[in-house]
Amino acid sequence: MNVNHDVNDVKESHLVKQAQNGDEDAFSLLVERYATRLYGVCFHLLGNREDAEDCVQESFIKIYRSLTGYRFRSSFYTWAYRISVNVCLDYRRKNNRGKTVSLDEGPETSSGQLFYQVADELPLPDQLLERSELTELVREELSLLPAYLRDIVILRDLEGLSYAELAGLLKISEGTVKSRLFRGRKQLMERIRYREQNRSGGRQTDREITTEGSEGEK
């Protein structure tokens, strides 16, 4: 998969500039180039065709509207990918099957302190976690990973980008990509295990999430 190199890069930046100047054909070519990949990202985060289609359409609407704000400092794909992921996260929150507590409705006190807690929905305790449920749980936890880990897990493990491509896209070293990939996978599996272990514990609303943020890159 070539995302940011050489000839494609030149053509792409040219296309983007044309699209920024209102050339709809150029925008259409960008859509053709990235529709399937962004759809794939949406599908991985949402797990069904209809939602993925809604979100990839919404993503491109946002991309279209925001195009003039793109300044070529990151690759167009990275920029578009992030918009897509955010559309999916928004979509999950709005259509979360009525389970998730909105993070925007945290308590407000006179001291101004607001403690937002990540809502966590659990299947009924007496249900066996079937494969499809497990897959949905994986998608959900994937979407809840810290962004700097989630992006690498998605782009490397699900979208198949190489370490070199990721290093270039994210402007970090290949070693850091690998280290974050490891941590992302680890954290994801820890979250999934936590969810599975606590299935009998009822709805959980005050879950501490370890970000490992202060740990140095190895």
Partner 1 sequence: MLRCRLSNKRMIEYLDKTMSASARKRFDLHLASCQACRNKLAEQEAWLAQRTALLADQKKNGLPDNDLPARIMDAVGKATMSEQAEPRLKPSSRRVWLAPVGVVAALALFLAIWQVLPLLLKPLVGPLQEAAQDAFSPPMPAYSILMPSSIVEKTYGVDGYGSWYLFLPEKGDQIALNAQKAESEICYLAVLSLSEHARAAVSQNDLNTAVILIPASPDSVVELSRRAENILQTCSTPFQIEIIKSAAIQGHLNSMDPVLYGMMFNAPPADSDWILIWIGK
**Looking at beta carbons only, is 126 or 213 nearer to partner 1?**
213
Residue 148 near partner 1 by CB under 8 A: yes
Count of Cβ atoms closer than 10 Å to residue 56 Cβ: 25
End-to-end Cα spacing for the chain:
27
CA distance 111 to 186: 37
**Looking at beta carbons only, is 93 or 199 nearer to partner 1?**
93
Window 5-44: contact mask with partner 1 (x via CB under 8 A) = ----------------------xx--xx--xx--xx--xx
Residue 2 near partner 1 by CB under 8 A: no
Are the CB atoms for 169 and 151 separated by under 8 Å?
Answer: no
Amino acid at 107: P
Q: Closest approach of Cβ 125 to partner 1, in Å?
A: 22
**According to CB under 8 A, which residues from 68 to 97 bind partner 1?**
68-74, 79, 82-83, 85-87, 89-90, 93
Cα-based distances in Å from 50 to 42, 66, 106: 10, 24, 31
The residue within the footprint of partner 1, chosen from 8, 66, 200, 205 (CB under 8 A), is: 66
CA distance 186 to 80: 27
The residue within the footprint of partner 1, chosen from 4, 178, 198, 204 (CB under 8 A), is: 178
